[in-house]
Homo-oligomer: A and B are copies of this chain.
Amino acid sequence: MDQLVPETRVLAVASHVVYGHVGNTMATFVMQSLGCEVAALNTVHFSNHSGYRQLKGTRATAQEISDLYQGLCQSNLTDFDVMLSGYAPSAAAVESVGAIGIDLQQKAESKPGSFFWVLDPVMGDQGRLYVNDDVIPAYKKIVPFADLILPNQFEAEVLSGIQITSLATLAEAITAIHRIYSVPHVIITSMQLNKLSQSGSTPPPPENFLTVIGSTIKSNGSPRIFRVDVPALDCFFSGTGDMFAALMVGRLSEAVSDTGSDLRATKSWVSPDSVAAVDLPLAKATIKVLSSMHSVLERTLESRDAELAIEVPASSEQLSEEEAAKRDYLRRTKAAEVRLVRNTSVLRDPKIQFEVQDWRKEDLPKHLQ
């Protein structure tokens, strides 16, 4: 029997690529594999992801995004339990996506907990913005309507206005995001704690580990922070943020239902203050999500290595050094595409490999200790 999450109808708004797995082309299949019914509204239609350093295709305009949603509205096709929103190609497109989320929230107002918006504020990474400047204020306007946001370190810094240099400033950034945007759940999806310039009182994980930090707000506005350390694999994979978000949709829906309480009918699925950080549905979901991801990526790495071990047939044309390097780069990028379709068992039935840790009081900013 298949291990499926509770029935969950998801509107997924993100990019589509013909080849490979990023954006909706990652998230749709991942959520479907868990048993979610997914409606995919695509914000771009590209041949491949940008990791190839070249692509062709089209971007949806803000109007086209709104029109598609209007199409759903006019035929009463908006009975979504969850919206997952990712990359949008312009500030106006971010506003259109935001208007969809806000409309769905409003439609669900009389039934608390019946709609939940997971927002990935895609703006940049590693200190670099890869969208136009005007996308930042557009996100800042819509984040207050989201239930869970999934920034990376850079995006968390942009949204909080706090530079993350220590465990205390990390906790401060999360607290600020809760406070400024009233967003009840936050996960910073991949931190390298050992690269922080100032240490905290908690020892950082070994060098090749990534850390995921999450928090669900308490009724007084303070955070409930937990942490999960995961060994990093020695390869750059595209679409892992989208895989995280998609698995989170299914697993959070499951964890909330598993509480057996009326959490599912509580606004934004915020657990009572009595629930400790490590016992949050968000924490339980994170463990399952990361376990699935780690297995899929381990298998991807094996397949990549096997693919790259095959000798390349000599080209009939004479390639310049530059052309040969480009061909090799494209081949390596392709080989690292995440392997999904033959690894659905580990998506559906993860072997739990990681544990959730509480956040030490000493690593909270002073005013929260």
Contact = CB atoms under 8 A, between A and B. Distances in A.
A56 B71 contact: yes
A47 interface: yes
Interface stretch (A148-156, A165-173, A253-261, A338-346): A338-346
Main secondary structure of the interface of A (DSSP, over half): mixed
Interface string A44-70: 011110001011111010001001111
A35 interface: yes
A72 interface: yes
Interface string A18-54: 1110000100110010011111111001111000101
Nearest to A334: B77
A18 B334 contact: no
A211 B16 CA distance: 37
B75 A52 contact: yes
A54 B72 CA distance: 10
A330 interface: yes
B77 A48 contact: yes
A71 B48 contact: yes
Interface residues of A, number: 52
B67 A39 contact: no
Contact of A77 (B7, B19, B64, B74): B19
A342 B67 contact: no
A25 B76 CA distance: 19
A223 to B, nearest CB: 35
A27 to B, nearest CB: 13
A25 B40 contact: yes
Contacts of A35: 341-342
Contacts of A18: 11, 39-41, 68, 71-72, 77
A7 B68 contact: no
B55 A2 contact: no
A330 to B, nearest CB: 5
A225 to B, nearest CB: 34
Contacts of A75: 19, 47-48, 52, 54-55, 330, 333-334
Contact of A39 (B19, B55, B69, B340): B19
A351 interface: no
A327 interface: yes
A344 B341 CA distance: 13
A32 B341 contact: yes
A331 interface: yes
A4 interface: yes
Contacts of A330: 75-76
Contact of A68 (B37, B56, B69, B345): B56
B47 A334 contact: no
Contacts of A38: 341
A215 B67 CA distance: 44
Most chain B CB inside 10 Å of its own CB: which residue of A55, A56, A76, A340:
A56
Nearest to A72: B47
B19 A46 contact: no
Contact of A67 (B57, B327, B333): B57
A64 B75 CA distance: 28
A325 to B, nearest CB: 14
Interface string A65-109: 001111110111100000000000000000000000000000000
19 contacts: A2-B345, A7-B342, A16-B40, A18-B39, A18-B68, A19-B77, A32-B32, A36-B341, A45-B68, A47-B70, A48-B75, A48-B77, A54-B71, A56-B67, A57-B64, A58-B60, A75-B330, A76-B327, A77-B334
